Chains A and B, each alone.
Chain A
Amino acid sequence: MAYIIEGNTGAWEVVVGLEVHAQVISRSKLFSGAATDFGAEPNTQVSFIDAAFPGMLPVINRVCVAQAVRTGLGLNARINVVSHFDRKNYFYPDLPSGYQISQYQHPIVGEGRIEIELADGSTRSIGVTRLHLEQDAGKSLHDQHPTKSYIDLNRAGVALMEIVSEPDIRSPEEAGAYLTKVRSILRYLGTCDGNMDEGSMRADVNVSVRKHGEPFRTRCEVKNVNSIRFVMQAVEVEAKRQVEVWESGGTVDQETRLFDSARGVTRSMRSKEDAHDYRYFPDPDLLPLVLDEAWVEALRQDLPELPDPKKARFVGEYGLTVYDAGVLVAEQATANFFEEVAKGRDVKTAANWVTGDLFAALNRMGRTIEQSPVSAANLGKLLDLMADNTINGRIAKDVFTAMVETGDDPAAIVEARGLRQVTDTGAIDAAVDAVLAANPDKVADYRAGKDKLFGFFVGQVMKAMAGKGNPALVNEVLKRKLS
């Protein structure tokens, strides 16, 4: 269903394009040999190149180039075997050289396309305009001193990929789905950790509104939005603001705005009036970047299975629903975990345990699947214990809880706690006899036609057996004795 803003003058459509800045995973920086680790002491990971000392020359990092190419391939995009670096000039204290080395007219990656999934199960294809390599800036701290800003250049010169989308996005939900998909692809490829809290992935959101069938109207750019939820909110509030401006007889000016997440509004960054006059020119320190086609092909051959093909395989090979497959492939670690649990076992049961009990436990503990106290091997063993009737499904839940607490092997938990399922018909007979003897009135009611009481008897027998009765046998014995 199309996302529409109902204004006083009719329905408005929202047009969104996203620029995603993704920090490249590499040991050293794009043009210098300084380290890239997050959280180091201020200014300890800075070379004279990053600090823009006179006479220092940049030398490009092969791995950063490879990461950009791999990302381009993952976005189904064209790789430009010849690309150029330019200087983007602006003044800011965390940019020591007064220019950012970026790629303007000849980026390393050209047009691509990705599929996004929406809540109603539909998919849409969103165009990628380009991906280029550039340097990150340093970090400014504004809250440490009343009249001064503090600058840490550790991040200055770290490689960034700027991934620019076509203005194909039409709703806050699609903006969120696009960002989610890009993040998932980057994480699968290992080219960016996608960690928005630490700023290693952030987005600039271009928003405009129009009446249906109109050409594009003026857009505004909401800068540096640092979570998927905030991107969705920024699209929503900025589009509403623009509708109000147009409908009150005003015009939307092309400008840069900030999203204030605390107040849920965007506001103008007036001080950046000149910011778009970047006076790009080719960087005279850097020759054209020319890629060897065979090297690009080798990188292509080496790509991991990406989320979309993996999802298709999970549906085709395992017979999972599209929804379950989508949940399982969102993170590569989850997909790997699931495949290890499912191997040689009932796939649907494996999917249910991973997306149900395991996800719930991890959520509760605030842990990722990599930090799961229950290993894939142990969860698999738990499924085996159910499959061979060592324990029943009810007891399996208790064993799982114990596994979450202790990380122990499920077989050891079952033995240590005496949870082995009772399949001895003598013991079940005895428990059934005792329950029936204790409830003569209910037995009479049941025999008089109150079928629903059967569940009560099952419950009582299981309770008497501390949950360890084999459910199928308990049912069978009860049916025989009650008939």
Chain B
Amino acid sequence: MSLDPATVRRIASLARIRVEEREVAQLQNELNTILGWIEQLNEVNVDGIAPLTGGAQMALKMREDVVTDGGYPEQVLANAPDRAGPFFAVPKVVE
């Protein structure tokens, strides 16, 4: 599998990472190297083996349905680049 420059630009755009045109070729190389490594894994036969989902045979722990958190809007908003009263404010996004 080999990525073309258009795919590199698309991945960057989906991830909201700005990539300058001069960086595309290098990124294309690096990503292809990474994909090459991952393709090696495909050489291992895993027929009939369940995917490994963790390092230990554990299931998800559940918590009780109790309100134990929240109620600190100032802390939640503290790092916001912009706010309007109790709201986060962002550049307008509307259909």
Contacts and interface: CB of A to CB of B under 8 A. Distances in A.
Nearest to A67: B65
Interface residues of A, number: 56
Contacts of A290: 59-60
Interface string A30-59: 001111000001111111111100000001
Contact of A150 (B53, B75, B88): B88
B66 to A, nearest CB: 6
B31 to A, nearest CB: 14
A61 B62 contact: yes
A260 B4 CA distance: 40
A199 interface: no
A287 B16 CA distance: 28
Given A277-B14, A287-B54, A153 B66 contact: no
A60 B60 contact: yes
Contacts of A141: 87
A287 B58 CA distance: 7
Contacts of A27: 65-67
Contact of B76 (A146, A150, A153, A289): A153
B69 A148 contact: no
Contacts of B62: 59-62, 65
Interface string A384-418: 00000000000000000000000000000000000
Nearest to A61: B65
Interface in B69-95: 69-71, 73, 75-77, 82, 84-95
A163 B59 CA distance: 24
A140 to B, nearest CB: 7
Given A148-B89, A288-B53, A45 B16 contact: no
A419 interface: no
Given A33-B63, A274-B13, A51 B91 contact: no
Contacts of A35: 67, 70
A44 B53 contact: no
Nearest to B54: A287
Contact of A41 (B61, B67, B86, B89): B86
A258 B59 contact: no
A85 to B, nearest CB: 8
A144 B84 CA distance: 10
Interface in A92-108: 92-93, 98
Interface in B25-80: 53-54, 58-71, 73, 75-77
Contacts of A45: 70-71
B69 A149 contact: no
Contact of B95 (A48, A59, A62, A258): A258
A261 to B, nearest CB: 14
Contact of A152 (B53, B87, B91): B87
A343 interface: no
A61 B86 CA distance: 27
B interface bracket (residues with beta carbon within 8 Å of A)? 35 or more
B58 to A, nearest CB: 6
B67 A28 contact: yes
Given A61-B63, A150-B87, A289-B59, A274 B92 contact: no
B94 A64 contact: no
Nearest to A267: B95
A91 B88 CA distance: 16
Contacts of A65: 62
Given A43-B87, A279-B14, A59 B65 contact: no
Contacts of A93: 88, 90, 93
A271 interface: yes
A290 B53 CA distance: 12
B82 to A, nearest CB: 7
B56 to A, nearest CB: 9
A43 B61 contact: no
Given A41-B73, A150-B84, 20 more contacts: A26-B65, A35-B70, A41-B86, A42-B73, A43-B87, A43-B88, A48-B75, A60-B60, A61-B62, A62-B65, A84-B53, A89-B14, A98-B16, A148-B92, A149-B92, A152-B87, A153-B88, A274-B13, A274-B14, A287-B53
Interface of A: 26-28, 32-35, 41-51, 59-65, 84, 89, 91-93, 98, 140-142, 144-153, 258, 269, 271, 274, 277, 279, 282, 286-290
Interface of B: 13-14, 16, 53-54, 58-71, 73, 75-77, 82, 84-95
18 contacts: A27-B65, A27-B67, A34-B70, A43-B76, A44-B73, A51-B76, A59-B62, A61-B62, A61-B63, A61-B65, A93-B90, A142-B92, A142-B94, A144-B84, A149-B94, A151-B89, A288-B53, A288-B60
